[in-house]
Amino acid sequence: MTDDSVAGAYFEHLVDQVKSHLQRHRVSRKQAELAAEDVSSWAGLIQYAGELEVPSQAIQAIHQLPIYADGLMCQGPGSQYFEVHQPDGSSPDVVPDGDAAWAQVGEQMAKAWASVETRAQNIIQAGETDEVNPWLERTQWLPYLVGMERPELLACIDEPVAEPDPRQEQQAEPVEAAMWAAMEGLARFSQASVIHRIGVFVRLEAIRTEKHQTRFQPLQPYMDEKSIGDHTRPWQQMLMFFARTQREHAWKSPAYRFTRRQREAWEALVEAAEKSAGRDEAEEEGEEQIEVEDGEDETMADVDEAIEEMETHTDEPTANAISEPQTLSSIQKACLEFCIALLSQSITRKEYDSPMVCALAVLGVKEDGWKGPEQYPPVLSAVIKVARFMVVQQALELSGPLDDEDEFDSDSAYESDDSSNPAQRRRKGCLQFVQEMMNRFMVRGSHSPMQWMLDLRTYGLKIHYNTTSRGHVEWVGREELLYKSLQFSMAQFRGMVHGLAAESRRLLMDELLFGNSRAAEPIPSVPWDSLRDNPTDERPGWNFLKDHRTRMPVNGERWLFERVGQDAAIRDRFTKRETRSGIDKQEVERYMDRVVAFREKLAVLVHIVEGQPARWPELGSVRHSNTVKGGHRNIFIEDGMVVFVTRYHKGYNVSGDVKIIHRYLPREVGELLVYYMWLVLPFQQRLEAMVWEKEVISSHMWPADPSGRKWTSDRFREALKRESTTGLGQALTIAAYREIAIGISRRFLRASTAFRTEEGENNEEWNEENAAAFVADEQAGHTAHVAGMVYARGIMEQAGAVADRRRQFRMSSTDWHRFLGFQADMQDGEECKKRKRAPFESEADEARIDRWGRLRKMDTAAQLQRMMGKAAEFRGVQKEAIDAIVAGKSHVVAVMPTGAGKSMLFMLPAWAEQGGTTVVVVPLIALRGDMMRRCRKLGISCAEWESRCPPDAAAIVLVTPESAVGEEFATFLNRLRATRQLDRIVIDECHIVLNRRYDFRKEMQRLGKLAAAETQMVMLTATLPPSEEDELFRRMYVEREQVELIRAATARTNVAYRVIRVGKAAKKKEVEEMVVRTVRQKLRRHKKGKVVVYGNSVPKVKELAQALGCHAYHHKGVGKASMLEEFAAGKQRVIVATSALGMGVDIPDIRCIVHIDWPFTVLDYAQESGRAGRDGLRSEAVMIVQEGQQRAAEDKQGEVEQQLVGARSRISNKHAAGRDRH
């Protein structure tokens, strides 16, 4: 090295490169060290590459800078520069003027501003002196990293690539990749040592944060394999920072300086990594970024414990999962030595004298700013915990293996301390080494990087707990919630919850309990009144089903097994003769897949409906039966409700404390869980024991699947996102739903039962509401809490539970159930009668009053023109009927001819006021489809009833008569009533209620059950004879005086009626031929018209259709929609049908209706013959009957119907339209 090279500010080699440079010239190591020490003492030298001032944009080219080249690859100082020659004879620039000049100014302005924006985005700037940021002032990141480029800093801590993808521009870094893998291996090895090689004393010592501190909860490993990989990443990133700044680089990097010990340890690590990379021993493993969910904090007195609680995740300890370690590899040992060297440095002047603090500063950089007190403390926690693992590992390395004579040579507890005895002179053990290292550099007062991390973590938490977080919840109107990118109404939210409950029930009943089996006995009901529980019974394996007072109707231990045996089809699916066990394992696996699917849905459902949402460690810790270790279960029965009582929480492994939280399930969801535990679980457990040969079956409610897949927070998060996407159309995460649930409860529940940010918060509103109950306790000289913990506790009171707290939890849960629309558990005794109304109930009442008030004041004619156009006007009795509806008449019956606009009677009110829900019972698929299209065209939210996705948010809900009288729809109506959304129920074609055929859609006769909804009932029809009015009112449970009856003339003057009689002696074939001749004659007469032939029996219809060469339409037919479509399009001009084609067929050019049997009722005849001439043109209705033919069904109106044929049109019109009364 020449004198010139060291005299100036810039020279060929940096100071820390002198030693390695001399060694490459075959100078001995000792001489090189002496020379390097001598050079480092020279004044005025630049120590680090980051201190070099490299201009970002050179004004003049750097001329003839020496470049050292080796072939085509340039290396060495200055290799990033190249010589730029000024071109000769270049023409002078042409200076524009006018518009061109101004355009050039605009371009230059845009470039200048783009440069400012790019610099502001990429380069860390000092900021203004009046900008206040306590966090940055405390960390001092800004003055240390000012002027650095964020992309370069982030790139220098990124994961290295050992083998680059040729399709991408990547640089191979095999040495760095070896370090990355070694660091992860070291962390996993050290955690395994904590689990397998040390005891409680060492772990208690390793958790200390103060020199003289007593900790009661020892150092714990992470809860699963993935967590240790995630939490090692900050250490890996620090190694990458050192690796990429120690080698020559072109970008401006932060300055730092290794101590001699750190330098030696680093060089040894680099050497080991080079050897490892050369032998291709390093394995590349993908790592994921640490995920920190918002809203997962815990308010604690001990801040160190509070942040450590964030380290522990999921449900199963790893003591059995992580294999016992053998020995560290050479690169792992070198990595351990370097990490200990970083940790053990004593800071004597400023924090950034420590390379570790410098590297940690880079870890605080984000693409768009800095990691604040919400994001950075978890990073520090990961570094601290892995550091503790490594300290334990280092102590084990220093203490060496434990020999047998060291462990058993004497009993020092009973013998004197004879220092002359060699066996008594023990070398220091692992505990002593851990004590020394903890006191020297791992606790506060050691002035080490660890103290800097502990203090900064505490400061960050203090800021976090005393700073309001950014708000994300906003309300639009009364019921629509905005949360970040999510937006939905409360009706949609309720619909999602009840759709999930319905799908879970279907899965349980149909696929797990085989409810569709006809050969087996029906599924027994849950006897809620006889369910008993004893929370004080802690016998292993015990739960409420084993209480001697609980008398279940069947033995759940064998019921499902016997049920499978009763149904040959199901039994044959499960059995396989060729196997030793006689069981088809593939079928068992399919069944277990359905069990797993049910448990996933149940987990999400319980999480949503139980009240304040639990964190996954709480929900994942739930057990259905007592265990030997825990001695407790978490599922109880209390006064007819299933209650989850959780004792575990996310910080249990750190603090050792338990929180006892009660969360109650609504009856509808609790029933699913009872069924599962009672009937499914015994069968499932026995299958697992036999097929998978399991010796131990977990008592967890959500154990690992038979395939081995465990329940984790990630799995639950995916399940929640999937179910919310299905039911809500938007994905909810765990953190998002916690905030959303709290926001909803604050908006709609009482202050005393609204969800708290944390379950342990004091509830002052509850204390105020129940002040009278606390007076006696105050007179006794203690609080209500002490009274509940100590005095006059019930015999059956659960250990650790307090009656007053339990009542608070129950009221909070039941208020939430009521808000969600669950009804079964609302009869909660006298306490329910005395409870205060929740805000959502009062607001719902006010909203309904306002809605109906606006509806009564509405100008119906003006609203019609707004909806349909200025030319729209009411026809016939439309206005009279709509006025009765908007006036709130309890029962309105409108008899109007087809095409007179009956559907307008409920569409106009729903369009004008869409805050409520109108339920429309529609008997035919074709009518439902037509109504859906018309509503959507008008902008009315309309949906068909579907139990798996209840349409709580729809303004009009279309439902079939069969579904309308079902239990699930009754629950839906009750929910709409509870939320005050149900405005009216409309029964279209209400004459179907008068159906007297018990073999055809008999549910239509039961539509009177809808009267239980106690809401406005609107009945519409074109066919209601006056003689049938009283029968209709009777079946609908309404008195005539309560009905507003509105009639319009329904006579069809364009239809001619005719009867063709066939002699009694005519044979069947002859009658059929006569019908065929008549039909073909009508087709010739009406060249463009269509003909419908009605018969009463399916076989007769099929035979005649075959003779005519056309479709046979009946309720059992396949492809009815396509048949009707072809008929309407004219592809076939004739169709033979049963009465299934009676209502809803609105084909204008049907010219002839032919009946070949007596109609079942006069109403059927009126409906079926009314299909003709709907375009107003001349048409006819022909009846071909054989003398003496018996009627197909009995009817009290038989005498009238016999007269129908003779009286033809006159009696039919009079009977159907009631002109004598209009």
CB 258 within 8 A of CB 342: no
Q: Do 1055-1217 and 840-1047 have the same topology in CATH?
A: yes
The C-alpha atoms of residue 438 and residue 435 are separated, in whole angstroms, by: 5
Instruction: Output b/e per residue, 352-371; b: 16+ Cβ within 10 A.
Output: bebbbbbbbbbbbbeeeebb
The C-alpha atoms of residue 353 and residue 675 are separated, in whole angstroms, by: 65
CA atoms within 13 A on the CB side of 177: 19
The C-alpha atoms of residue 401 and residue 429 are separated, in whole angstroms, by: 10
Cα–Cα–Cα angle for 43, 49, 50, nearest 5°? 105
Which tokens in the block code for residue 737?
């739903």
451, 441, 256: which is closest to 352 by C-alpha?
Answer: 256
Instruction: Give the distance, in angstroms, between the CA of residue 5 and the centroid of all CA atoms in the same chain.
Output: 66
CB 381 within 8 A of CB 457: yes
Instruction: Tell me what pLDDT residue 620 has.
Output: 86
Q: What residues contact 751, with CB distance under 8 A and at least 6 apart? A: 765
Instruction: Tell me what pLDDT residue 171 has.
Output: 75
The string of DSSP codes covering 1111-1137 is EEE-TT-S-HHHHHHHHHHTSSSEEEE
The C-alpha atoms of residue 344 and residue 549 are separated, in whole angstroms, by: 65
Instruction: Tell me what pLDDT residue 780 has.
Output: 46
Instruction: Tell me what pLDDT residue 618 has.
Output: 84
Alpha helix positions (H), 915-1061 = 925-938, 961-964, 967-978, 1029-1035
The C-alpha atoms of residue 202 and residue 433 are separated, in whole angstroms, by: 10
Domain 1055-1217 falls in which CATH fold? Rossmann fold (3.40.50)
CB 191 within 8 A of CB 389: yes
Angle in degrees, 0-180, between the axes of helices 734-748 and 490-506, rounded to the nearest 10: 120
647, 562, 668: which is closest to 605 by C-alpha?
Answer: 668
Average pLDDT across each block of 10 residues of the chain; the chain has 1222 residues. List them in order.
40 65 65 75 64 52 48 52 56 68 84 79 70 82 88 90 67 88 93 91 91 84 75 94 90 91 94 82 40 36 45 41 69 95 93 94 90 90 94 91 50 46 64 93 93 92 76 84 89 91 93 84 89 86 89 90 88 83 86 94 94 84 83 86 77 54 91 94 90 84 89 91 92 91 84 54 49 47 49 49 74 87 59 59 81 88 89 88 90 84 89 89 78 88 86 89 86 85 89 69 76 89 84 88 85 82 82 89 88 90 90 84 86 88 76 87 79 84 77 41 44 46 38
- Find where tokens 């150092």 sit: 219
CA torsion sign, 20 to 22 to 28 to 29?
negative
Instruction: Tell me what pLDDT residue 1072 has.
Output: 87
Report domain extents, the chain: 3-75, 139-401+427-465, 480-758+804-816, 840-1047, 1055-1217
0.75 cut: is pTM over it?
no
81, 79, 21, 9: which is closest to 51 by C-alpha?
Answer: 9
Cα–Cα–Cα angle for 775, 779, 781, nearest 5°? 120
Cα–Cα–Cα angle for 1113, 1115, 1117, nearest 5°? 60
984 has which bridge partners?
Answer: 918, 1016
Q: What is the DSSP letter of 440?
A: I
Homologous superfamily of domain range 840-1047: P-loop containing nucleotide triphosphate hydrolases (3.40.50.300)
Sheet containing strand 1150-1155, strands side by side: 1055-1062, 1179-1186, 1150-1155, 1090-1094, 1134-1137, 1111-1113
Q: What is the DSSP letter of 512?
A: I
CB 384 within 8 A of CB 453: yes
Alpha helix positions (H), 821-960 = 829-834, 839-856, 860-868, 878-886, 904-912, 925-938
